[in-house]
């Protein structure tokens, strides 16, 4: 990869902020609002995950280079580099651990060589007014491939980080840096026929449960946990027909990014039934979507922000790829 070239290009990238995408392109209407392109990065940019600040700004992590960006979804053409994390190839899961304090997974993952064991660490970005203070929480040398991250909201200063290759979940105290494996299950392990050794991918803690995807099985499930993050119930399958990357959970449904399937699927948590709400296999609307998050302000709490790799890992119908982008879907 050529991170410096991408860095230079991304500063100049022409973004069509505010453009209305064609709803016929795999998006059911007309009861939904039009999907809107919030920001598009240069070709080659791969967005991996998204978290939302309380002021409404979007924080997005990149895997093609170790950079964290902040995007104001209401102001056209604003993508600000928050921080570049030298010494890593990319950034993955991100979560708000306490008000306006975010943690993220950094490490070495490349398409050609896969994840590099021993390269993984958890970092913290704390916003004071608008100045980010960045420091390392802890190296996790035993991790093989840290991916999804979520806040264990029942316990202060505690996040959970999924190791996709080992198929386990760590809990990390972000104040002391102490960490341990708290969850480990067969449903977390990479599928025998997985193209890359990635099992458990997205994780979200919601109302005493940890929800998770295993991309290649495919599997979307959950497990009830205690305050320390240990399982207190069985690992339950919710849906086994949805290819899932990262996702958002609400009390009644999960909204799951489908990465190579180029769709966002809404899964009903009581029935396990999935409904595609945006995109299709041959559509570029949310091509290579890796994660989603709901807006946090009055103006956009019904907006689902979708981030993508633009089909660069798996081109749409074998031919089309574009720069990673952020798309707003009105749910």
Ligand X SMILES: *[C@@H]1O[C@H](CO)[C@@H](O)[C@H](O)[C@H]1NC(C)=O
Cβ closest to ligand X, residue 47 vs residue 182: 47
Cβ closest to ligand X, residue 252 vs residue 298: 252
Rounded-to-integer distance, Cα 118 and Cα 105, Å: 13
Window 237 to 256, contacts with ligand X (CB under 6 A): 252-253
- 12 contact partners, CB below 8 Å, separation of at least 6: 42
* Cβ 160 to ligand X shortest distance, Å: 21
Can you tell me which of 54, 178, 240, 317 binds ligand X, judged by CB under 6 A?
317
Cβ closest to ligand X, residue 158 vs residue 312: 312
Contact between 119 and ligand X per CB under 6 A: yes
Report the C-alpha dihedral over residues 216, 262, 5, 293, rounded to 10 degrees: -90
Rounded-to-integer distance, Cα 307 and Cα 274, Å: 20
Can you tell me which of 136, 195, 271, 302 binds ligand X, judged by CB under 6 A?
271
Cβ closest to ligand X, residue 235 vs residue 320: 320
Contact between 280 and ligand X per CB under 6 A: yes
Burial class of 14 by CB neighbour count within 10 A (0 to 12, 13 to 18, 19+): exposed
DSSP state of 19: P
Q: Are 137 and 177 in contact (CB under 8 A)?
A: yes
SS3 category, 8: helix
* Cβ 287 to ligand X shortest distance, Å: 7
Window 8 to 27, contacts with ligand X (CB under 6 A): none
Can you tell me which of 68, 198, 316, 326 binds ligand X, judged by CB under 6 A?
316
Contact between 283 and ligand X per CB under 6 A: yes
Contact between 314 and ligand X per CB under 6 A: no
Residues 27-46, one symbol each (x = binds ligand X by CB under 6 A, - = not), give ----------------x---
Can you tell me which of 34, 281, 294, 313 binds ligand X, judged by CB under 6 A?
281
Of 53-61, 76-84, 86-94, 127-135, the window that binds ligand X (rule: CB under 6 A) is: 86-94
Beta pairing class for 263-268 and 274-279? antiparallel
Can you tell me which of 57, 145, 284, 291 binds ligand X, judged by CB under 6 A?
284
Of 49-57, 148-156, 235-243, 281-289, the window that binds ligand X (rule: CB under 6 A) is: 281-289
- The whole-angstrom distance between residue 244's C-alpha and the CA centroid of its chain comes to 11
The DSSP string of 292-328 is EEE--STTTTTEEEEEE-TTSSS-BTTTB----EEEE
Q: Are 277 and 248 in contact (CB under 8 A)?
A: no
Helix or strand run (H / E) with residue 329: strand 325-330
Kindly list the residues in this chain that would bind ligand X in the complex (CB under 6 A): 43, 87-89, 108, 116, 119, 252-253, 268, 270-271, 280-284, 316-317, 320-322
């Amino acid at each position: 990869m050529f991170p410096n070239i991408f860095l230079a290009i991304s500063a100049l990238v022409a973004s069509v902020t505010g453009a209305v995408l064609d709803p016929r392109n795999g998006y059911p209407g007309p009861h939904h609002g039009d999907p809107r392109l919030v920001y598009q990065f240069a070709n080659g940019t791969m967005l991996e995950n998204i978290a939302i600040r309380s002021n409404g700004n979007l924080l997005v992590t990149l895997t093609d280079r170790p950079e964290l960006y902040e995007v104001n979804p209401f102001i056209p053409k604003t993508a600000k580099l928050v921080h570049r994390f030298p010494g890593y190839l990319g950034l993955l899961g991100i979560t708000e651990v306490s008000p306006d304090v975010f943690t993220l997974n950094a490490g070495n993952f490349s398409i050609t060589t896969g994840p590099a064991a021993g390269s993984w660490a958890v970092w913290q970005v704390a916003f004071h007014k608008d100045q980010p203070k960045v420091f390392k929480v802890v190296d996790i040398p035993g991790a093989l491939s840290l991916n999804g991250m979520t806040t264990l909201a029942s316990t202060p200063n505690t996040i959970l980080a999924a190791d996709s290759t080992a198929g386990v979940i760590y809990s990390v105290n972000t104040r002391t840096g102490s960490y341990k494996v708290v969850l480990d299950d067969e449903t977390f392990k990479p599928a025998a026929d997985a193209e890359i050794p990635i099992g458990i991918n997205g994780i979200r803690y919601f109302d005493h449960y940890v929800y998770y995807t295993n991309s290649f099985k495919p599997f979307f499930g959950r497990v009830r946990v205690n305050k320390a993050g240990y399982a207190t119930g069985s690992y339950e399958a919710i849906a086994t027909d949805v290819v899932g990357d990262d996702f958002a959970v609400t009390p009644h449904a999960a909204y799951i990014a489908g990465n190579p399937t180029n769709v966002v699927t809404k899964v009903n948590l009581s029935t396990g039934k999935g409904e595609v709400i945006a995109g299709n296999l041959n559509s570029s609307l949310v091509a290579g979507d890796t994660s989603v998050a709901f807006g946090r302000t009055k103006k956009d709490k019904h907006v689902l922000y979708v981030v993508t790799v633009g089909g660069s890992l798996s081109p749409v119908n074998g031919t089309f790829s574009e720069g990673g982008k952020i798309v707003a879907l009105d749910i």
